[in-house]
Structure 1
């Protein structure tokens, strides 16, 4: 189990992580989500002992990372796939890790096979790897010691669609076998497909946490449905007759009512529906709303460009 309590990390007057607390449970994948610069990587660096906290603490299995004997056998870490020694081969990187952790040499071949790095690729120097291959090697190194906890920062970077699907299955299987996964990303769509729990962070502070249903239940807003039918005019008249606002939307209607009420009205008037969905704010909308102050594109106070096209 990962436990973060009142964690703060300041650099002078700049507070990168501000009173952050959360728990990651065994058997679950926890997504750690936020825009670039929101404090995700700093939190993870504190977790694995690379950055000391200003206040608070972060523990894994009740211990600080530095206090865990032979930590690679208990915690698998991937914070930067490009930080591996470029002059070594992929096999050498894993062999050194295995030797350091006291693992049999056969473990190296098991991990290379697990992450689908071929014999020829394993003999190539890491500096000649693509980013996707470096990610696979980094995941192999994180899993080398057969840990119970995985801490991964942006592991999908550089992976192609097949690689991303492979990684999802790998991490889900790890959690299903009782492992604890903390997965950091700024890509909500990717994490949403695998995470059991999500923690949203913006400007160094936790702005929301919970599973998808809990997060969406906490998003207050009017009920809205998007519907298409074989007789939109008849359905619109029926809905307006019940006092609902109805607007045209593409080939269908936007109705200010819950989907069950729209469906019930269609059934009463015997109008065949071809599409009916919740049109209220989804998880992406909630994410952008809660982290708006951290979104670079959301800023409307940027200085004007100069004649040369640079920021003044």
Structure 2
């Protein structure tokens, strides 16, 4: 389990994390989402003992990461796939990690096979690896100590569709065996498929958290029309709660049939009308983070 308790991190006058609290539980994959600069990586670095907190604390398996005995045997980290020694071969990177953590070197071959790096690729210098190969090597390194917890920041970067599907199965299997996974990714569709729980952060604060089902269940009606301004005015006149969505259209606190009748009475042509519980993760994410996301940012 990972526990983040009232965590704050300041850099001078800038507050990167502002009283952040959440849990990533054993046996579950927790998706950690937010726009670029929202504080995801800072929070993960505090969890991993790489960045000191200004206030609050983060613990892994009930203890600060730095106090874990031989932490690589308990926590697998992938925070930057490019932070690997470019002059070593993939096999050398894993072999050195095995030596440092006291792992049987025979595990290196098992992990190379698990992540799909061939013997020829394992003998290649990391500087000659593609981004996807570096990610596979980084995942192998994170799994080297047979940890109970995985903390992965954008692990799918550079992976092709087959690689992403493989990683999804890997993470689900890890959680089903009782492991804890904290996963950051800008591939919202993958998070929706693999995550049991979701935490959304914006401007250094948690803006939503819960199970994937809870956050995506939604309510009311999503509607788009030829004139959303006129439709919103007509609905508001009936004392109906209306919220513009970040992806366009309106979220209306009423049933679809009622919204359709009121739109007809107002003479507004509808382009889309559906239940709010059909909203996907991308739509939910954009609505929650609209105030903190730049237009070009996906996660």
> What TM-score comes out, normalization by structure 2 length?
0.82
**1:133-161 C-alpha deviation (Å, 9 max, x unpaired):** 00000000000000000000000000011
What is the aligned partner in structure 2 of residue 125 from structure 1?
Answer: 125
Contact kept in structure 2, 1:221 and 1:280, CA below 8 Å: no
Residue 281 (structure 2) aligned to one of 280, 283, 295: 283
Name the stretch that deviates more: 38-47 or 280-289.
Answer: 280-289
**Equivalent runs, 1:94-173 vs 2, <5 Å:** 94-173=94-173
SS in structure 2 at match of 1:293: coil
Aligned pairs, number: 261
Q: CA deviation at 1:77?
A: 0.3
Contact kept in structure 1, 2:216 and 2:277, CA below 8 Å: no
Contact kept in structure 1, 2:32 and 2:183, CA below 8 Å: yes
- The separation in 2 between residues aligned to 1:136 and 1:285, in whole angstroms, is 30
Contact kept in structure 2, 1:292 and 1:298, CA below 8 Å: no
Q: CA deviation at 1:187?
A: 2.6
What is the aligned partner in structure 1 of residue 48 from structure 2?
Answer: 48
SS in structure 1 at match of 2:199: strand
- The separation in 2 between residues aligned to 1:23 and 1:255, in whole angstroms, is 36
What is the aligned partner in structure 1 of residue 243 from structure 2?
Answer: none
Q: Describe the shift of the 1:108–1:13 C-alpha distance in structure 2 as closer, same or farther (beyond 3 A).
A: same
Contact kept in structure 1, 2:25 and 2:180, CA below 8 Å: yes
What is the aligned partner in structure 2 of residue 10 from structure 1?
Answer: 10
What is the aligned partner in structure 2 of residue 79 from structure 1?
Answer: 79
Name the stretch that deviates more: 110-119 or 205-214.
Answer: 205-214
> What TM-score comes out, normalization by structure 1 length?
0.79
Name the stretch that deviates more: 187-196 or 1-10.
Answer: 187-196
SS in structure 2 at match of 1:57: strand
Contact kept in structure 2, 1:74 and 1:146, CA below 8 Å: yes
**Equivalent runs, 1:173-252 vs 2, <5 Å:** 173-217=173-217, 219=218, 221-222=220-221, 243=261, 245=263, 247=269, 249=271
Structure 2: which 5+ residue stretches go unaligned? Answer: 225-256
RMSD (CA atoms): 2.2
Q: CA deviation at 1:282?
A: 3.4
SS in structure 1 at match of 2:295: helix
Q: CA deviation at 1:221?
A: 4.3
Q: CA deviation at 1:248?
A: 5.3
Q: CA deviation at 1:279?
A: 8.0
Q: CA deviation at 1:298?
A: 7.3
Bigger-Rg structure (1/2): 1
**Equivalent runs, 1:61-80 vs 2, <5 Å:** 61-80=61-80
- The separation in 2 between residues aligned to 1:89 and 1:294, in whole angstroms, is 41
Q: Describe the shift of the 1:186–1:294 C-alpha distance in structure 2 as closer, same or farther (beyond 3 A).
A: farther
Structure 1: which 5+ residue stretches go unaligned? Answer: 226-238, 259-277, 300-312
Contact kept in structure 2, 1:224 and 1:280, CA below 8 Å: no
